[in-house]
Copies of this chain bind each other. A is one copy, B any other.
Amino acid sequence: MFPNKTTFQLNRKSKQALYLQLSNTFIELIKSRKLLPETKLPSSRALSENLNVHRKTVVACYEELLLQGWVESIPKKGTFVNANLPELNVQNFTIENRHKKTNNTGFNFYHNEELVRKSPEKKEGFMYINDGISDARLTPAEDIARIYRRICGRKHIYKEMSYGSLFGNEKLRKTLANYLNKTRGLSVSYENILITRGSQMGIYLSSKLLLKKDDLVVIGETNYASADTTFLQSEANLVRVAVDENGLNTKEIEEICKKKAIKAVYVTSHHHHPTTVTLSAERRIHLLNLAKKYSFAIIEDDYDYDFNYNHSPILPLASHDANGNVIYIGSVCKTVAPVFRIGYLISSKEFVNEAANQRRFIDRQGDALLELTFEEFIKNGDLDRHIKKVMKIYKTRRDLFCKLLEEKFKDVFFFEIPKGGMAVWLTLHKKYSWKTISQIAYKHQLEIGEWQRYDIANSKHNAIRIGFATYNEEEIYELIKRLSKTMNEVKLLKKSL
């Protein structure tokens, strides 16, 4: 039986053409088997009269259905629901039920528990401890947007708008080569540079190219957790070496090399993540020599090169790398703002080519307009001026934060004032635990975050990393206040036990 008139709810105010509303209704009816295969549709004249629409609308609708294969036209007989249409296997197929599918997955996929990170839901009034990120309020967003818009208005800018280089915009690569050669003692050409979306993409690409199942990668006993997870995705084996006040213990690395072939060492040489120490000159040279002797790659993640408070930054390992062992990774995400996804991977031309080929299959290419924007931002000296400006602010914040920590928590927290970076490595007196602190802090609207992940290798250091750069003076006082309340309660609790 053909459905009655009320089934066709046509909305003449809708932006969708009437014939499409009509054909979509037919499709729903056919799919839901309210119109069975071989059912004859009314003639266009009959239907148009019945629904009070123009006959052309119905004709267009039938043509649409025909084109899509929902109906067939049999000469001299009329239009019929396609006899060969299989039934769509759905229980109670209704619009309402379709909404439920959002929770169903009709297929199996590989779940990777390692990838899961809990980030707390942001709650009004809460303060969140982070492990060292910049203050977004200081971002020169309007300056950058102004450059962006100017670039978009250029006459031949359309040439940058289609499918472009896998390596990133060539102008930015050249400016960056020049900038890094000058500021970081590198000696690279633009061909050594792949523009990435940030350091994480650099680590990911390196991991994909260097590591396969059971390959060895050396990391610190404490290490940047995202790097660990990235390497694990290549099913590599992580080999941990000690980290002390001079950074990674390179003697341990040498011992490992004597026994087994390693593919790579991951190092945050400038300020070790998370402990903030700097790899000493002696170990830098030792590591480079080992890399040469044993032909492994050094993945140097120089995520906070620009952040030094007491002295000039130490030139990266890459600046001493005459044998092509270093893959140098950095970004503007820390110095400008994470929202600007511009980073770089620097290595031999050969490796950079392979990384670009790999990158094609991840996200095809970068954002040439944003890349050109940063090309200007760097070349004009805006980046340097911005760094100078924020460094002054962050230094003040570091000084205040450390002074208050020292004043209030001398008996429970131990730390060195970090010479650079945006975080303090805070060791807790061994009679307390971060777990308890975290629970009590929560009552005082202070979210400590993932304290567990600093102890991922069971190194028993009882320390976490606390960023200071995101908070202004007032916020630092407030944070310390909440931490004081928390620690007072923790101490009382301890006594009462």
Contacts and interface: CB of A to CB of B under 8 A. Distances in A.
Interface in A68-112: 68-70, 82, 84-90, 93, 95, 97-99, 101-112
A103 to B, nearest CB: 6
A82 B210 CA distance: 34
A48 B68 CA distance: 86
Contacts of A374: none
Q: How many subunits of this chain does the assembly comprise?
A: 2
A182 to B, nearest CB: 8
A152 B339 CA distance: 11
Contacts of A312: 17, 20, 23, 64
Interface in A119-157: 133-134, 136-137, 139, 141-142, 144-146, 148-149, 151-153, 157
A465 B264 CA distance: 43
Contacts of A323: 89-90, 101, 104, 106
Given A89-B289, A117-B357, A292-B106, A24 B315 contact: yes
A160 interface: yes
Contact of A86 (B63, B282, B311): B282
B106 A289 contact: no
Nearest to A350: B105
A363 interface: yes
A325 B106 contact: yes
Contacts of A142: 149, 152-153
A104 B198 CA distance: 25
Q: Which 3 pairs of residues, A with B, have the shortest CB-CB distance?
A: A145-B152, A69-B281, A104-B324
Given A68-B314, A88-B285, A141-B152, 9 more contacts: A17-B312, A86-B285, A86-B289, A88-B289, A90-B322, A101-B187, A106-B292, A108-B295, A109-B351
Interface of A: 16-17, 20, 23-24, 27, 31, 63-64, 67-70, 82, 84-90, 93, 95, 97-99, 101-112, 115-117, 133-134, 136-137, 139, 141-142, 144-146, 148-149, 151-153, 157-164, 182, 185, 187-189, 191-192, 196-198, 200-201, 204, 209-210, 212, 226, 229-230, 233, 246, 263-264, 278, 280-282, 285-286, 288-289, 291-293, 295-297, 310-312, 314-315, 320-325, 337-341, 347-351, 354, 357-358, 360-370, 419, 470
